[in-house]
């Protein structure tokens, strides 16, 4: 192992187990790009402020740029014996440019360095995640448009409830995903503060120019307290919480599609290319992708819990526990990116079983509330109307008999307000068309929502 950044004060070399146990290079290597970009800005600032000679600053910048190229082209070979990515790059710079490299760490600590790296990583990842969410929203919108005229039975408590447009149901997904997007963008505002200059935790007596580094790295603001700069990871918690909520949304969408693709529902057919089979039951075509999406909530919520518990009770300033924030953060971001990518593709590979759906919306129990509202419009109180329709349910629907096939006389027995025109509303099309409240499943209102989303996305 290379000499530690802090090795001189140690009277003995560290035990191999200590090195292995404390090293983070295995996972923080993915911060390499941000670490170098941060170092480049820092070196420029040190030269400009004459804290180090310009020629040393130039040598550092040249060396770092060579290393950056290797990192970006995938040629960089990480030293798995290094303590972390910061030490790895520092050591390599020494090899490349010699003693001038030792000046890079002036007025800097790995404590503010790692805080910077994660903030830069997250700013970039949030952009990608938001883009991927938009991609999924577009894919859902396209599917919603293809289903614009389709009416499905809607469910509450997984019991058949009322007729709704399938597109209305699908657009409900876009609303939640939109909030997920704004949650991430909002978290990014607080991530967008530059911590370098906090050094170990108390700042520095050297005449650094934090504002210069902020501008170089494109941050919106500076962190205002050096202790806070190295202590807190609340911004990671915010992102993980936003990703957990997003994953809960995605699990609900996945669950809907799993149900809809069963023989029992038969609303949709998912293309073979996005299903898997069974090693024992030859007839099976399983929605494993959707099940894995549903199951991933456990993983992502676990990542949130992991960092939350890690943070709880830590004293102020930097503590090594904070090194452990990265594996769960990376896991959650990676998992979510994979989910969004495959979900987007899967939505383009679903066929709607229109014929099968039509037969399902003939169930007149779907229209019980429409009959109640028909009676209310004729002046009957809600309570009485509910009782009237309740009796019709017992006599007809529970016995497999249709309300629409009752004679005029039979209708009158329930209420004299039940005139023959009631039969006109006992179909799915009337049921959705009768709705008029803003946000309801009325086809004209849903068409407007489809338009709104097409313009917005």
* Interacting residues toward ligand ARG by CB under 6 A: 24, 28, 84, 110-111, 114, 318, 322-323
* Closest to ligand ARG by CB, 226 or 323: 323
169 is catalytic: no
Cβ at position 24, least distance to ligand ARG in Å: 4
Q: How many residues does the chain have?
A: 457
Taking the C-alpha atoms of residue 360 and residue 353, their distance in angstroms, rounded to an integer, is 11
Q: What number of CA atoms fall less than 13 Å from residue 20's CA on the CB side?
A: 3
Count Cβ atoms below 10 Å from residue 310 Cβ, excluding itself.
19
User: Smallest gap, in angstroms, from Cβ of residue 7 to ligand ARG?
Assistant: 12
Q: Smallest distance from the beta carbon of 56 to ligand ARG, in angstroms?
A: 24
In a 3-state reduction of DSSP, which class is residue 83? coil
Q: d(Cα 57, Cα 42) in Å, to the nearest integer? A: 9
SS3 content of the chain, % helix, strand, coil (to 5): 65, 5, 25
CB of residue 14 to ligand ARG, shortest distance in Å: 12
- Cα 411 to Cα 344, 364, 376, 423, distances in angstroms: 49, 15, 16, 10
Q: Can you list the alpha helix ranges (DSSP code H) found in 209-347?
A: 210-217, 226-231, 234-260, 288-311, 326-347
The catalytic residue among 157, 205, 273, 283 is 157
**DSSP per-residue letters across 199-228:** TTTT--SS---HHHHHHHHT-SEE-S-HHH
Which C-beta is closer to ligand ARG: that of 109 or that of 368?
A: 109
Other Cβ atoms closer than 10 A to 256: 19
Residues 322 and 22 sit within 8 Å (Cβ to Cβ): no
Interhelix angle for 443-456 vs 166-191, to 10°? Answer: 30
Q: Does residue 376 come out as left (phi exceeding 0), alpha (psi in the -120 to 50 range) or beta?
A: alpha
313 phi-psi bin (left φ>0, alpha ψ -120 to 50, beta other): left
Question: Which CB sits closer to ligand ARG, 87 or 431?
Answer: 87
Residues sharing a CB contact under 8 Å with residue 377, sequence separation 6 or more, in sequence order: none
Give min distance, CB of 238 to ligand ARG, in A. 19
Which residue intervals of 98-165 are DSSP H helices? Answer: 110-146
Nearer to ligand ARG, 332 or 380 (CB): 332
Kindly state the tokens that stand for 280.
């024992």
CB 114 → ligand ARG: shortest distance, Å?
A: 4
- DSSP 3-state assignment of 162? strand
User: Which residue in 124, 202, 278, 381 is the catalytic one?
Assistant: 278
The secondary structure of 165-198 as a DSSP string is EHHHHHHHHHHHHHHHHHHHHHHHHHH-EE-TT-
* Cβ at position 354, least distance to ligand ARG in Å: 55
Contact 57, 102 (CB under 8 A): no
Residue 327 tokens, joined: 């594996």
Instruction: Kindly calculate the radius of gyration of the chain based on its CA atoms and give it in whole angstroms.
Output: 31
In whole angstroms, how close is the CB of 287 to ligand ARG at the nearest point? 39
The rounded distance, in Å, linking the Cα atoms of 318 and 313 is 13
- Distance in Å, CB of 285 to ligand ARG, minimum: 45
- Give the active site residues: 157, 278
């Amino acid at each position: 192992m290379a000499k530690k950044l802090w090795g001189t004060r140690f009277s003995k070399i560290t035990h191999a187990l200590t090195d292995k146990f404390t090293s983070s290079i295995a996972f923080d290597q993915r911060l390499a790009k941000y670490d170098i970009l941060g170092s480049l800005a820092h070196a420029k600032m040190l030269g400009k402020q004459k804290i180090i000679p310009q020629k040393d600053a130039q040598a550092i910048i040249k060396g770092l740029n060579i290393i950056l190229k290797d990192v970006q082209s995938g040629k960089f070979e990480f030293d798995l014996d290094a303590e972390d990515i910061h030490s790895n790059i520092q050591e390599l710079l020494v090899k490349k440019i010699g003693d001038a490299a030792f000046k890079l760490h002036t007025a800097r600590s790995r404590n503010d360095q790692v805080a910077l790296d994660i903030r830069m990583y997250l700013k970039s990842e949030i952009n990608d995640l938001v883009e991927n969410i938009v991609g999924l929203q577009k894919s859902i919108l396209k599917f919603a448009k293809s289903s614009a005229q389709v009416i499905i039975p809607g469910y509450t408590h997984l019991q058949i409830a009322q007729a709704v447009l399938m597109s209305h149901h699908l657009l409900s997904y876009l609303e939640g995903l939109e909030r997920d997007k704004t949650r991430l963008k909002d978290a990014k505002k607080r991530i967008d503060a530059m911590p370098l200059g906090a050094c170990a935790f108390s700042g520095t007596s050297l005449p650094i120019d934090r504002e210069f580094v902020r501008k170089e790295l494109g941050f919106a603001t500076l962190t205002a307290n050096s202790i806070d700069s190295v202590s807190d990871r609340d911004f990671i918690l915010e992102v993980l919480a936003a990703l957990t909520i997003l994953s809960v949304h995605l699990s609900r969408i996945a669950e809907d599609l799993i149900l809809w693709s069963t023989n029992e529902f038969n609303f949709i057919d998912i293309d073979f290319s996005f299903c898997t089979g069974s090693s024992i039951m030859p007839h099976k075509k399983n929605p494993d992708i959707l099940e894995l999406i549903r199951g991933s909530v456990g993983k992502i919520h676990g990542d949130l819990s992991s960092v939350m518990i890690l943070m709880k009770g830590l004293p102020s300033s930097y503590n090594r526990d904070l090194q452990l924030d990265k594996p769960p953060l990376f896991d959650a971001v990676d998992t979510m990116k994979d989910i969004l990518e495959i979900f987007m593709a899967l939505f383009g590979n679903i066929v709607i079983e229109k014929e099968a759906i039509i037969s399902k919306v003939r169930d007149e129990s779907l229209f019980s509330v429409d009959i109640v509202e028909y009676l209310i419009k004729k002046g009957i109180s809600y309570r009485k109307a509910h009782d009237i329709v309740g009796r019709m349910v017992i006599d007809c629907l529970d016995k497999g008999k249709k309300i629409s096939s009752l004679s005029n006389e039979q209708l009158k027995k329930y209420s004299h307000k039940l005139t023959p025109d009631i039969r006109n509303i006992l179909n799915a099309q009337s049921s959705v068309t009768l709705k008029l409240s803003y946000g309801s499943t009325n086809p004209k209102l849903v068409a407007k929502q489809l338009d709104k989303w097409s313009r917005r996305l």
